[in-house]
Amino acid sequence: MLYRVKDSRIEDVSAGIYDCVFFASGYEERCTHVAKRLPPNITRKSVLLGFKEAARHPQRCENDRYFLSNWVENEVTLSSEDDGPVFGHLRDLQPANEGHLQIMVDYSSMSRVWYAAILNWARFATQFERIDIDLVYATGDHREPERPMVITQMVSIPGCEGSPEASLKSVAVFGLGFEGQAALCVLDRLEPDEFYTYLAGPGSSERHRARAKTENAELIRHANGTFELPLASVERTYSDLSEVIARHRSKANIVFIPMGPKPHVLAAILLAIRFREVSCLRVSGKRDRPARVGATGETVVTRVEFRGRDRED
Amino acid sequence: MATGKRFPRDLFEIENARNLTRDELVATFVPTKAFRRLLSAKNHVVLGSRGSGKTALAKALSHDHLSRLDDQMSREVIRSRSFIGIYVPTKLEWVGGLRNKPWQSEAEKELFFQWRLNVATCMAFLTTLRSCLEAYMPNKAQRAKVEAELVSEVGISWAGHSSTGNTIGALQTFLEDIEYEKQQQLARTRALGHLRDGEEPVGIGFGADLFVPLRRGMKLAARALCLPLDCTWLLCLDEAEFLDEMHHRILNSHLRTHSDNLFFKITTMPYCHYTLATNTKVSLNVGQDFEYVYIDQDPVVHAGHEGVEGHQFAGAIFNKRALVSGRKYRDLSLREMLGGSVLLDSKRAEDWGPRSENLSLLRRYASRETIERAEKLSVNQKEFMDQIGRKMHGALRLRHAVATQTGRKELTVYSGDTMAIRCGDANPRRLIRIFNSFLLAAKWQHSPGRTAVVRLRPNVQTRILTGFSTSTLSRVQSEEVNGPELYEFLKRIGDYMHDSLHNEPLTTDQISSVRVDRTVDDLSWMLTKMAVGLGLLFPNTNANYPDEMPEREGTFRFAYVLAPHFRILPRKGKARKLETILRRHRGKVAPAFQGEQMALAFLSGDED
C-alpha cells in the first residue's frame, strides 16, 4: 500500500544509494538541472527516457549529449503516452538490499504517463517488502507562451481511473497553471456539480503565482473554493487535498484535473492511487512552438514509500 | 410533482441537466416536439449542439424521470407500461478510462468497450428496475419480496453466483466493485506483465456480446413485473460524441439488427455520429434502421408561429426555474427585470414620421437605392413598415449607437428581454447562463409580503451580454484539435458582418449567415461542422428533411450569442458565400489560417 508521502531534500538524494534512477530528455532546458547536481555514483543503474516527440529540437540534442556523456550509454526513445518500456526496465530491477528497492525519478520534464507508471508498478510489485521512490523536480522558470494551449486529449492517467458511479454527483478539483482557457474548456466538458481549484502559493515566484491567478480568474470566480498550496511541499499538498475531498468521498465521484506544476500533479496522482473514488485526468495539448522552460535553481524532493504485501489495496 | 414545490438550491445556478437531481430536472423540464417523437419504438440518433438539452431529453425518457413528469402523455406511458426508458451516460470520465490504454489492440479495445458498456447498461438498468418496482408494486412487502427474488435471479445471471445480495443496492455495489477491479487488474497486468498465479479475469460474465446481460435482466424483469408483451425498452445512451468511431460502429451494428423490443436513443453533437458503418458488410440506412432528430431550436410543444416559439421556450425555461428556485423569484418576469429591447421589439408606424429620428438615420446610413425605395413606399404606411421600417429599425439604431459611442460612454442597446432571449439561441444552457448572469447583478426591493426586482440598467445589461458573448468566443480557442483555427474562422465571419453593418451603406438585408457550396475547402468545412457542434453556427435545415445535417452545401446562421461581441444585430438576414468572407480577410490577419493549413503542429506532450 501507499504508506507515506513526505518531503525530502536534494542533499539527501545526493547522499542516497539507488537501485535505479530515471531521467527524461526533452526540449526543456531544465531537463539536465537535477542530473547536474547529483553525483553519478548514487545509482547502480540509470535509465534515460527520451521523448519521441520533438527529437530534433536543438535543446533536446544538447540534453541528450549531456546525459550520454555522464549518466547512460543509451537512450530509450518513446512516446509520451507509452509506458511499456518504463515497465520493462522496472521488471528487471533487483534491489541491493533484499526486499527493499530504492528508486529516484527526476520528473521535472517527464511525461505524467511515465512517472505514473513507476508509481503504479511500485504499488503492484508485491514481491518487495518496501519500495522507496524519491521524486525530484527542478522548479521551472516559465516564459509566457504567445498562444494558448490547444487541448488534444483528455484521458485518465492509467491506473487512476477511479470508480465512477453514474448516480453519484461529481466533484472536480482543478490544479491551476497558466492555461486558463484550456482549464475552462475542460470544465465545460466535465460539467461537475461542484469544483475546486488549487494553485501554487508560494510558487516558484510571486510573478508565477500572480500569473496563474490572472490566467484562471474566471475559473476561480466560479469555483466552490480555491486553495493556495505550496509548490515546495508535495507532503502538504497531498495532505491538504485529502482534506478538501474528505467530505465528498463516498458521496461523489471525485476527479482531479492537475494542469499546474508537476509537484501538484504528483499529489493528485497519489490521491488517485490512495482512494478508489478518486480519478485523475490527463489533459494534453499542443502549442505553436515549445514553451521555453528553464530551471530556477530550486528543487522539490518527495519520498513516496510503498510497504507491505497487497500494496494495491 | 406539485407545482408549489421549491428546492433549496437556486436552479438558475445549474445550467446542466446532468447536475440536476431527478426532482429538479422533472420540475424544470420543458417538453418539446422532439421529446414526443422519442417516445416511440424506433431507433433515434439525437443531434444537438452543446447545451441544447440532449441530456435533459435522454434523462426525461428514463423511467424514474418519466414516471414523475407532470405531463399527460408521460403519465399514460407509465400507466400502460408501454415504454420503459433506461438512461446511460457515457461522460468524459468514463470515456477517459477507455482511451488511456494505447497499448491495446483494436480487438482488445472493442472487447473492453463492450465489457464496460455491458456493466454500465446493467448499472443503469438497476436504477430503472427500482423505479419500475416503485411504480408497479405499491405494496411494500410484495415489492420487497419481488425485488429479492428478481435481484437474486439477475445476480446469478450476471455473476454466475448468488452472492451478489438480494437488494438492488447490493447488486449495484457488486457492479461498482467489478468495474473498479477490472481497471485495477488491467493496470496491474500492464505493470507486471502477467496475471497473478491462478487469477481469473474480472467479470467474465460481462465479456458476453454487447447488451446480452442487459437483455437477460430485461427478460427477467418483464416476467417479475408482468410487463405487457408489447412493452418497449428504450436505451438512452447520452453524450456519444465522446466515443470514438469504432464505438459508434459497434453501436450501429445493434441499430441494424432490429431487436425485438429494445430500441436505442443515442444523443450526440451534430456531425458527431462518426460513421454509418456496422460490424457487418451492410451500413446503416437512415430512415430505415434509425432516424436522426435534430433538436437545436426544437420548438416547444404547442408553440405558435415561428419566431414566437423561441421566445416561448425561453420563457418556459425561465418561469419553471423561477417557480421552484426560491421565494424572491416568485412572480418575477424577464420583462420586469430587463424591460423591452430598443433594437428588436416590434415598432409602430408612428416611429417613422416625417420628422422622426428613424427617418433621419435612414437618410444618414442607408444606401441610395434603399432611400429611394423608402421614399416610394412612404405613400403606403403598411408596405413601408413591412418592407423598410421593421427590417431597418434595429440595424439603423445599432449603427448609430456604435457610431456615436465615444470615450467612456457605454453602449446600451444590447438590453431588454427579447435581446437576452435572442442571444440565448434557444439553447437551454446558454439561456440559463444568461439569466443567471442577470440575476446575479440584480438588486432587490423588499416590502412587506413582496420582494421585487429593480430593473437592470440597459448599460449594465449590455455589459453583461457583451461579456458573455466575448467569453463564449474566447473559449473556442482551447477547443480540442482546431480551437485556434475555429476562433480565427468565427472572428473573420463576425468581423465581416460587423464591417458590412457599420462601414457600408445599409440595405434592408443585413448579412447574418454564411453560404457553403461544394467548392468549400476541407479545413473550412471541418471548422463549419465544429462551429455547428458548439452551437456557434446553425444550419438552415431543409423543411422536408429537418433532421439531416447539410453536407458541404448549405446556409449557416451565425449564432446570436456572438452578436454583442461583434456589435451586430441578432436577427435573420441574408447569407454571403463563405469563401468571399474568408478571401476578404486573407492576408490581413492571423497567418495561421492562410493556405488552409494550420500552423499549429507542435505537440507539447507532457513535458511542461
pLDDT digits (tens, 9 = 90+) for B282-298: 999 999 999 999 998 76
DSSP class per residue in B159-215? HSSSTT-SSHHHHHHHHHHHHHHHHHHHHHHHHHSSPPTTPPPTTGGGGSSTTHHHH
Half-sphere exposure of B589 (CA within 13 A, CB side): 12
Domain-embedded: residue B100: yes
Q: Taking CB atoms and an 8 Å cutoff, what residues of chain B touch A121?
A: 191-192
Examine the domain organization and report whether B403 and B499 are in the same domain: no
CATH number of A2-143+293-307: 3.40.50
Q: Is A146 on the interface with B (CB under 8 A)?
A: no
Measure the CA–CA gap between B151 and B148, rounded to whole angstroms. 5
Q: What is the pLDDT of residues B109-150, one digit of tens each?
A: 999 999 999 999 999 999 999 999 999 999 999 999 999 999
ipTM score assigned to the predicted complex:
0.91
Q: What is the pLDDT of residues A48-64, one digit of tens each?
A: 999 998 788 898 999 99
- Would you place residue B401 in the very low, low, confident or very high pLDDT band (cuts 50, 70, 90)? very high
Examine the domain organization and report whether B348 and B264 are in the same domain: no
Examine the domain organization and report whether B485 and B587 are in the same domain: yes
Q: Please give the C-alpha separations between residue B115 and each of A281, B96, B108, B408, in angstroms, as whole numbers.
A: 22, 15, 10, 61
The pLDDT assigned to B2 comes to: 41
Measure the CA–CA gap between B195 and B406, rounded to whole angstroms. 73
SS3 for B283?
A: coil
Asked whether the predicted pLDDT for residue B302 surpasses 60, the reply is: no
Helix (H) or strand (E) holding B451, with range, is: strand B450-454
- Would you place residue B598 in the very low, low, confident or very high pLDDT band (cuts 50, 70, 90)? very low
Comparing CB atoms, the residue among A84, A147, A164 nearest residue B93 is A164
The pLDDT assigned to B1 comes to: 41
Domain-embedded: residue B151: yes
The pLDDT assigned to A143 comes to: 67
What single-letter DSSP state applies at residue B411? P
The pLDDT assigned to B482 comes to: 86
For residue B212, the Cα-to-chain-centroid distance in whole angstroms is 31
Examine the domain organization and report whether B284 and B367 are in the same domain: no
Give the residue carrying C-alpha cell 434603399: B370
Mind telling me how many Å the CA of A108 is from chain B's nearest CA?
8
Q: Report the number of distinct structural domains present in chain B.
A: 3
Domain-embedded: residue B166: yes
Q: Please give the C-alpha separations between residue B538 and each of A7, A190, B179, in angstroms, as whole numbers.
A: 54, 24, 39
Task: For chain B, give the percent of residues with pLDDT over 70.
Answer: 92
Task: For chain A, give the percent of residues with pLDDT over 70.
Answer: 95
Cβ pair A124:B192 closer than 8 A: yes
Given a contact cutoff of 8 angstroms between Cβ atoms, the answer to whether A196 and A171 are in contact is yes
The pLDDT assigned to B3 comes to: 47
Examine the domain organization and report whether B112 and B247 are in the same domain: yes
The pLDDT assigned to B283 comes to: 95
The pLDDT assigned to B596 comes to: 33
C-alpha cell at B518: 461544394
- Would you place residue B90 in the very low, low, confident or very high pLDDT band (cuts 50, 70, 90)? confident
Examine the domain organization and report whether B256 and B187 are in the same domain: yes
The backbone region for B125, taken as left when phi is positive above 0, alpha when psi lies in -120 to 50, beta otherwise, is alpha
The pLDDT assigned to B593 comes to: 38
For residues B438 and B5, the model is more confident at B438
Q: Taking CB atoms and an 8 Å cutoff, what residues of chain B touch A159?
A: 183-184, 187, 191
The pLDDT assigned to A309 comes to: 58
The string over A105-117, giving b where at least 16 C-beta atoms fall within 10 Å of a residue's C-beta and e elsewhere, is: bbbbbbbbbbbbb
- Would you place residue B309 in the very low, low, confident or very high pLDDT band (cuts 50, 70, 90)? low
Mind telling me how many Å the CA of B352 is from chain A's nearest CA?
44
Architecture of domain A150-286: 3-Layer(aba) Sandwich (3.40)
Asked whether the predicted pLDDT for residue B602 surpasses 50, the reply is: no
Q: What is the mean pLDDT of residues B18-36?
A: 82
Given a contact cutoff of 8 angstroms between Cβ atoms, the answer to whether A3 and A308 are in contact is yes
**CA angle in degrees (0–180, nearest 5) for B31-B34-B39:** 85
Q: Taking CB atoms and an 8 Å cutoff, what residues of chain A touch B16?
A: 191
Q: What is the pLDDT of residues B352-383, one digit of tens each?
A: 888 889 999 999 999 999 999 999 998 888 89
Q: What is the pLDDT of residues A196-252, one digit of tens each?
A: 999 998 877 888 888 899 989 989 998 999 999 999 999 999 999 999 999 998 889
Domain-embedded: residue B458: no
Measure the CA–CA gap between B490 and B503, rounded to whole angstroms. 19
Mind telling me how many Å the CA of B608 is from chain A's nearest CA?
6
Q: What is the mean pLDDT of residues A92-119?
A: 93
Cβ pair B605:A26 closer than 8 A: yes
The backbone region for B449, taken as left when phi is positive above 0, alpha when psi lies in -120 to 50, beta otherwise, is left
Measure the CA–CA gap between B491 and B338, rounded to whole angstroms. 29
Provide the domain limits for residue B577.
Answer: 479-596
Q: What is the mean pLDDT of residues B299-313?
A: 57
Give the residue carrying C-alpha cell 539527501: A12
- Would you place residue A153 in the very low, low, confident or very high pLDDT band (cuts 50, 70, 90)? confident
Examine the domain organization and report whether B200 and B260 are in the same domain: yes
* Cross-strand bridge partners of residue B576: B514
Cβ pair B604:A157 closer than 8 A: no
SS3 for A296?
A: strand
Task: For chain A, give the percent of residues with pLDDT over 90.
Answer: 65
Per mean pLDDT, which of A57-71, B252-266, B530-544 is the most reliable? A57-71
Examine the domain organization and report whether B504 and B367 are in the same domain: no
Domain-embedded: residue B315: no
Cβ pair B187:A165 closer than 8 A: no
C-alpha cell at B254: 445493434
Mind telling me how many Å the CA of A185 is from chain B's nearest CA?
6
Q: If you count residue pairs, one on A and one on B, with CB atoms under 8 Å apart, how many are there?
A: 193
For residues B6 and B50, the model is more confident at B50
Q: Tell me where in chain A the CATH 3.40.50 domain(s) lie.
A: 2-143+293-307, 150-286
- Would you place residue B585 in the very low, low, confident or very high pLDDT band (cuts 50, 70, 90)? low
Cβ pair B89:A288 closer than 8 A: no
Comparing CB atoms, the residue among B92, B180, B602 nearest residue A163 is B180
Mean pLDDT of chain B: 87
Mind telling me how many Å the CA of A231 is from chain B's nearest CA?
15
Half-sphere exposure of B502 (CA within 13 A, CB side): 18
The backbone region for A16, taken as left when phi is positive above 0, alpha when psi lies in -120 to 50, beta otherwise, is beta
Q: What is the mean pLDDT of residues B429-444?
A: 91
What are the backbone angles phi and psi of residue A63, rounded to the nearest 5°? Answer: -60, -45
Comparing CB atoms, the residue among B92, B603, B606 nearest residue A112 is B606
What are the backbone angles phi and psi of residue B297, rounded to the nearest 5°? Answer: 60, 30
Given a contact cutoff of 8 angstroms between Cβ atoms, the answer to whether B602 and A287 are in contact is yes
Q: Taking CB atoms and an 8 Å cutoff, what residues of chain A touch B179?
A: 163
The pLDDT assigned to A289 comes to: 65
Domain-embedded: residue B321: no
The pLDDT assigned to A267 comes to: 97
Domain-embedded: residue B519: yes
Comparing CB atoms, the residue among A51, A151, A287 nearest residue B480 is A151
The pLDDT assigned to B590 comes to: 37
Q: Is A151 on the interface with B (CB under 8 A)?
A: yes
Cβ pair A150:B600 closer than 8 A: yes
Domain-embedded: residue B538: yes
Q: What is the pLDDT of residues B115-125, one digit of tens each?
A: 999 999 999 99
Examine the domain organization and report whether B232 and B83 are in the same domain: yes
For residues B321 and B105, the model is more confident at B105
Q: Please give the C-alpha separations between residue B399 and each of B6, B342, B353, in angstroms, as whole numbers.
A: 44, 13, 20
Q: What is the pLDDT of residues B483-501, one digit of tens each?
A: 889 999 999 999 999 999 9
Q: What is the pLDDT of residues B176-233, one digit of tens each?
A: 999 999 999 999 999 999 988 889 999 999 999 999 999 999 999 999 999 999 899 9
Comparing CB atoms, the residue among B96, B123, B602 nearest residue A290 is B602
In this structure, which amino acid lies at residue B336?
A: E
What are the backbone angles phi and psi of residue A174, rounded to the nearest 5°? Answer: -95, 125
